[in-house]
């Protein structure tokens, strides 16, 4: 297998070195995985792209007798977009935690662990995970490129010429992704295609990363390709992490949302039609209004009657139908409906009750976590590779630092419950010192001085208490 991979890589390198650019790009566009087209997915994801908006067959505008147009109601709902955000929040609202193994009793490895955490911190990886989650669950594929910019700094615990950054690409941003894998699933090349408008020119860019080089070509107004970048990659591995899924998180749920939209839109039409009252006259009308009457008076004869036609709407049946469909959408997605209307009826429930309510959602996150952990582990490997080049003194030790990424499904914190649990596990004894508690709370700018003041105040209180007891005697 190694020989086969080497052969494929040699073929790619040969093609990139001597092949015509258009042939190179067409070969690199041969996608190794099957991913749904974003042009189709967006029709469900984006509310304004829904069928209810564009349907002119069953949702026809009406021409009134005065030749004015009464628009058909078109109520659209962003349930797919909301589900995507909610799934992302349940995955990444609690930031990914990294645990470092094999660093005990080794000062250099401990410094390496701190440096890795600093890299993630200054790359704003928690916010990046939210962006990646939304794109992955909605558009089904993402690619994150890590790169170094020359900017002298001491952010990572040592003087460095470079600062590490990352950028995520997805079809949601108008970027086409073309990963190339071998039979074992190892990435051989990663390519990106995107458009930029510069002045009045439409320019298409195509970038390719291998473990040896970074290539970049541009095409102006659909004409010929021109090489822009051809630079070596010192990392000796592809600085890209790619993840994909076979279907969007909202797959097979859009028919429920569609039924809700059409139900509400039809009902809106009925309400609009019946909003103006219709006067019904039975029998004949005799005479007219008398002058000076404060209100209109109808005089009827021969048992006649004048009344308004009322519309007997089955509002409860409609409400039940929509609520049933909405509940079905969320239950099938394995995500909770945490809208205000739903949550206000729950009141202030305890931590254990919240855990029970979110069981299905946590199981869903667990199902998705495998792909994410593989993605995050590869990212940690790339970060370590960059770090070994930025600080060569650590090169021999970096591979000995194991990084474990941990995804924690979202749940509202219950600090009291957590403290009680830890205290019980500690045999009923305190789990923090008084000074540590003051620091953790974060109110004091000088925790040591605050603790000293508290101790002095307690001493004075005890002294005063003793004086009072003596006086009482």
Check whether residue 276 and residue 325 sit in a common domain: yes
Whether 89 maps to a domain, the answer reads: yes
Whether 266 maps to a domain, the answer reads: yes
Check whether residue 244 and residue 266 sit in a common domain: no
Check whether residue 247 and residue 266 sit in a common domain: no
Q: What integer pLDDT is reported at residue 68 of this predicted model?
A: 81
SS3 category, 66: coil
Q: Name the residue among 161, 172, 164 with its Cα closest to residue 146.
A: 164
Q: What integer pLDDT is reported at residue 307 of this predicted model?
A: 67
- The count of other CB atoms within 10 Å of the CB of residue 268 is 14
Check whether residue 459 and residue 371 sit in a common domain: no
Q: For the packed helices 21-28 and 2-18, what is the interaxial angle rounded to 10 degrees?
A: 140
Whether 257 maps to a domain, the answer reads: no
Whether 221 maps to a domain, the answer reads: yes
Per the structure, the count of domains in the chain is 3
Q: Tell me, what DSSP letter sits at residue 103?
A: -
As a whole number of angstroms, the distance between CA 403 and CA 378 comes to 10
Which residues share a beta bridge with 187? 181
Q: What integer pLDDT is reported at residue 336 of this predicted model?
A: 86
Check whether residue 390 and residue 318 sit in a common domain: no
Check whether residue 175 and residue 300 sit in a common domain: no
For 327, the domain range is: 262-338
Q: Residues near 123 by Cβ (< 8 Å), separated by ≥ 6?
A: 164, 165, 166
Check whether residue 233 and residue 270 sit in a common domain: no
The tens-digit pLDDT sequence of the chain (473 residues) is: 555 556 656 667 777 766 688 888 988 888 889 999 999 999 999 999 999 999 999 888 887 777 788 888 999 999 999 999 999 999 999 999 999 999 999 999 999 999 999 999 999 999 999 999 999 999 999 999 999 999 999 999 999 999 999 999 999 999 999 999 888 888 999 999 999 988 778 899 999 999 999 999 999 877 789 999 999 999 989 999 999 999 999 999 999 999 999 999 988 887 766 665 666 667 666 655 555 555 566 666 766 776 666 556 667 888 889 999 999 999 999 998 876 666 555 556 555 666 667 888 899 999 999 999 999 999 999 999 999 999 999 999 999 999 999 999 987 665 555 566 666 766 777 777 888 777 777 778 788 888 888 888 888 877 776 665 555 54
Check whether residue 95 and residue 225 sit in a common domain: yes
Tokens standing for residue 333: 């997605």
Q: Tell me, what DSSP letter sits at residue 299?
A: -
The answer to whether the CB of 106 falls within 8 A of the CB of 72 is: no
Whether 415 maps to a domain, the answer reads: no
Check whether residue 400 and residue 297 sit in a common domain: no
Please give the model's pTM, rounded to 2 decimal places. Answer: 0.80
Whether 348 maps to a domain, the answer reads: no
Q: What integer pLDDT is reported at residue 447 of this predicted model?
A: 82
Check whether residue 166 and residue 36 sit in a common domain: yes
Whether 413 maps to a domain, the answer reads: no
Check whether residue 206 and residue 316 sit in a common domain: no
What radius of gyration, in Å, describes the C-alpha atoms of the chain? Answer: 33
* Helix or strand (DSSP H, E) at 52: helix 51-54
As a whole number of angstroms, the distance between CA 438 and CA 416 comes to 16
The answer to whether the CB of 35 falls within 8 A of the CB of 234 is: no
Whether 347 maps to a domain, the answer reads: no
Check whether residue 186 and residue 305 sit in a common domain: no
Q: Tell me, what DSSP letter sits at residue 47?
A: G
């Amino acid at each position: 297998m190694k020989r086969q991979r080497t052969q494929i890589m040699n073929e790619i390198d040969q093609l990139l070195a001597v092949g015509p650019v258009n042939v190179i790009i067409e070969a690199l566009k041969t996608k190794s995985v099957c991913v749904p087209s974003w042009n189709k997915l967006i029709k469900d994801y984006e509310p304004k792209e829904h069928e209810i908006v564009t349907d002119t067959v069953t949702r026809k505008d009406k021409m009134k007798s005065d030749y004015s147009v009464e628009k058909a109601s078109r109520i659209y709902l962003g349930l797919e977009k909301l589900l995507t955000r909610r799934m992302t929040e349940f995955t990444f609202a609690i930031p990914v935690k990294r645990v470092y193994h094999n660093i005990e009793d080794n000062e250099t490895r401990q410094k390496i662990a701190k440096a890795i955490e600093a890299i993630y911190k200054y790359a704003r990886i928690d916010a990046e995970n939210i962006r990646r989650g939304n794109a992955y669950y909605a558009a089904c594929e993402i690619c994150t490129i890590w790169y170094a910019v020359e900017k002298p700094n001491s952010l990572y615990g040592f003087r460095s010429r470079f600062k590490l950054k990352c950028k995520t690409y997805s079809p949601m941003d108008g970027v086409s992704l073309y990963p190339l894998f071998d039979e074992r699933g190892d990435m051989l090349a990663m390519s990106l295609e995107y458009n930029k408008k510069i002045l009045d020119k439409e320019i298409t860019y195509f970038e390719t990363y291998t473990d040896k080089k970074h290539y970049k070509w541009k095409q102006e107004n659909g004409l010929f390709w021109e090489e822009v970048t051809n630079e070596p990659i010192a990392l000796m591995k592809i600085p890209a992490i790619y993840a994909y899924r076979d279907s969007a998180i909202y797959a097979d749920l859009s028919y429920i949302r569609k039924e809700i939209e059409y139900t509400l839109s039809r009902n809106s039409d009925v309400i609009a039609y019946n909003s103006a009252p219709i006067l019904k006259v039975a029998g004949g009308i005799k005479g007219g209004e008398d002058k000076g009457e404060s209100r209109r008076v109808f005089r009827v004869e021969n048992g006649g009657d004048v009344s308004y036609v009322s519309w007997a709407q089955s509002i409860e049946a409609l409400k039940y139908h929509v609520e049933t469909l909405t509940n079905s959408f969320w239950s099938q997605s394995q995500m909770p409906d945490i809208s205000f209307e739903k949550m206000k009826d729950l009141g202030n429930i305890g931590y254990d009750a919240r855990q029970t309510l979110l069981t299905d959602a946590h199981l869903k996150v667990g199902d998705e976590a495998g792909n994410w952990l593989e993605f995050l582990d590869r990212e940690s490997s790339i970060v370590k590779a960059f770090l070994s080049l930025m600080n060569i003194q650590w090169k021999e030790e970096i591979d000995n630092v194991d990084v474990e990424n941990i995804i924690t499904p979202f749940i509202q914190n219950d600090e009291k419950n957590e403290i009680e649990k830890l205290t019980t596990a500690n045999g009923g004894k305190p789990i923090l010192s008084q000074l540590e508690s003051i620091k953790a709370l974060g109110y004091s700018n000088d925790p040591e001085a605050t603790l000293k003041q508290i101790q002095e105040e307690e001493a004075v209180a005890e002294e005063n208490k003793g004086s009072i007891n003596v006086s009482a005697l």
